[in-house]
Amino acid sequence: MIFEPITINGVTFRNRLLRSSIGGRTAYYDGTVSNAWKNFERRFAEHGVGGIVSATLNVGPERWSPLEYPQISADKFIEPLREGVSAVQALGCRYIIQIGDAGYHTQTSLFSQRADQMSASNGFDLIYGYRTRSSAMSIPEIEEVVRQFARAAVRVREAGCDGLEVTASKGYLIHQFLNPATNRRTDRYGGSTEKRFRLLHEVVSAIRKAVGRDFLFGIRLSANDFNYLPVNLRWPPVWPPQRYWFGNTIEENLTYARQLKELGVDYLHVSNGFGFINPKENPGDIPIDEMRMFFNSTRHLSRKGALRATLLNVTPRPLLRRLLGAGWRYRQGENLEDARRLRREVGLPVIANGGFQDRSYVEQALASGGCDVVSMARPLLANPDLPRLFEQGVEKPEKPCTFCNRCAVRTTLFPLGCYEPARFASLEEMEAQILAWSANPEEAEATPYHRARRGL
């Protein structure tokens, strides 16, 4: 089934493999995409994926993070995006732009800014976001966010994309409103399961009105929040305790998913967990060294940032691994069974994400009805030609992704690429692979790294 086409709301994908959302510093200082972004996306298209889901492009001018990630918060970004999207589509690959707002999970900034702490409620979160505390948004601020999502959706369509996807996962702003641990409001945007859904309801309604019913529109949804993974300190606690340590279960998210279907959403892109990165959305190893690196880079932005970096620096690495490593493991298809249940009980097409890499496992996930499409990022970053290998009947690439998760953190600070030394014969080869991503695909094939892969 991998190479059977699928059509969703008039958009036909040539196969059932998507490159899922993966971010990187591929834009200019103002957020305008560069040729590095276009060439990066083209690399996956030319190797045969059916479609690409972009990094999360920020809908508003505030809470833009990390810096030099692409933006879609103003009309000036449309034309540069259109050029890159067209280049991908010319290779037979569909392109979907994912839009979102990080809320208080905004991790970086030139200077510490109050806008970066806005969320559903006041609170403290040790791991996510750089501001010392989060602050409850006012009703006018919430209403403006809804308008920003709608305007961004129009820009996605004007850029010539095949569809758009809204991030209601990753612990971003919409997820902060959905999650009972971070949404303790008592107005119409908080309290009951229904009221916590109101922001997403309004965003979806505004987007569908803005882009029309004929435009492909999906939601990235966390099936279970797993607030306790990774181990974190949030304040204040909430009652009952399950809401604090777990958040929404799949039962609440099934309720949300059914309402999304009624609102005209075309598909669900299913993951798990709360916050980026987390063990359920990025199954594999915990990148301790990279976490230290990142938190040291933001320690100047707040007292919390300084404390967090100090704690990571002075705590011995083995102890850190024991404290923070709970839940970090690799399991292929980590979220498949939740995707299966959402597909069966809601009736929308479902994209499953989370640790896929083996051809037979992907085939079985599709053939068994677990999902309609499989998405992956890290395995394709490690081996962009993975779809071609699957076409040839290869079960797994010669040097598969190890799911070390180094790339997930390093690419917030450095160029996109695989940072797993075990996959390369030398440091020079690894560096060549990283730097080759910014080149034109034709030029990249002449680099020492790609010549070595071809045995030249």
Start and end residues for every CATH 3.20.20.70 domain found in the chain = 6-423
**Which pLDDT belongs to residue 355?**
96
Q: What is the DSSP string of 333-372?
A: TTTHHHHHHHHHHH-S-EEEESS---HHHHHHHHHTTS-S
pLDDT, mean of residues 227-242: 95
pLDDT of residue 16 exceeding 80, the answer is yes
Q: Give 41's pLDDT tier (boundaries 50, 70, 90).
A: very high
pLDDT, mean of residues 227-255: 96
Q: From CA 14, how far away is CA 416, in angstroms rounded?
A: 26
Dihedral angle of Cα 334, 339, 340, 342, to the nearest 10 degrees: 150
Instruction: State both tokens at 363.
Output: 């085939």
* Superfamily of domain 6-423, CATH level 4: Aldolase class I (3.20.20.70)
pLDDT digits (tens, 9 = 90+) for 330-385: 999 999 999 999 999 999 999 999 999 999 999 999 999 999 999 999 999 999 99
Percent of the chain with pLDDT over 90: 94
Under 8 Å CB-to-CB from 82, ≥6 apart: which residues?
158, 159, 160
- Asked which of 150-159, 390-399, 420-429, 441-450 is least confident by mean pLDDT, the reply is 441-450
Q: From CA 411, how far away is CA 414, in angstroms rounded?
A: 5
CA dist 366 → 37, 207, 343, 360 (Å):
30, 30, 12, 10
Instruction: State both tokens at 70.
Output: 């692409």
Percent of the chain with pLDDT over 70: 96
**Which pLDDT belongs to residue 18?**
98
pLDDT, mean of residues 95-100: 98
Q: From CA 433, how far away is CA 407, in angstroms rounded?
A: 13
pLDDT, mean of residues 202-228: 98
pLDDT digits (tens, 9 = 90+) for 278-292: 999 999 999 999 999
Under 8 Å CB-to-CB from 421, ≥6 apart: which residues?
427, 430
Q: From CA 265, how far away is CA 229, in angstroms rounded?
A: 29
**Which pLDDT belongs to residue 313?**
97
- How do 6-8 and 11-13 pair as beta strands? antiparallel
Under 8 Å CB-to-CB from 134, ≥6 apart: which residues?
103, 104, 117, 118, 119, 121, 122, 123, 124, 125, 176, 182
pLDDT, mean of residues 309-332: 94
pLDDT digits (tens, 9 = 90+) for 130-159: 999 999 999 999 999 999 999 999 999 999
Determine the straight-line distance between the first and last CA of the chain, rounded to whole angstroms. 34
**Which pLDDT belongs to residue 453?**
56
Residue pair 248/180 in contact (Cβ under 8 Å)? The answer is: yes
Torsion sign over Cα 35, 36, 37, 43:
positive
**Which pLDDT belongs to residue 439?**
75
pLDDT of residue 65 exceeding 90, the answer is no
Q: How many residues does the chain have?
A: 456
Local structure of 166: helix, strand or coil: strand
- Asked which of 119-123, 263-267, 386-390, 413-417 is least confident by mean pLDDT, the reply is 413-417
Nearest of 153, 152, 160 to residue 208 by alpha carbon: 153
Q: Give 168's pLDDT tier (boundaries 50, 70, 90).
A: very high
**Which pLDDT belongs to residue 341?**
98
Nearest of 125, 353, 354, 338 to residue 230 by alpha carbon: 125
pLDDT of residue 304 exceeding 90, the answer is yes
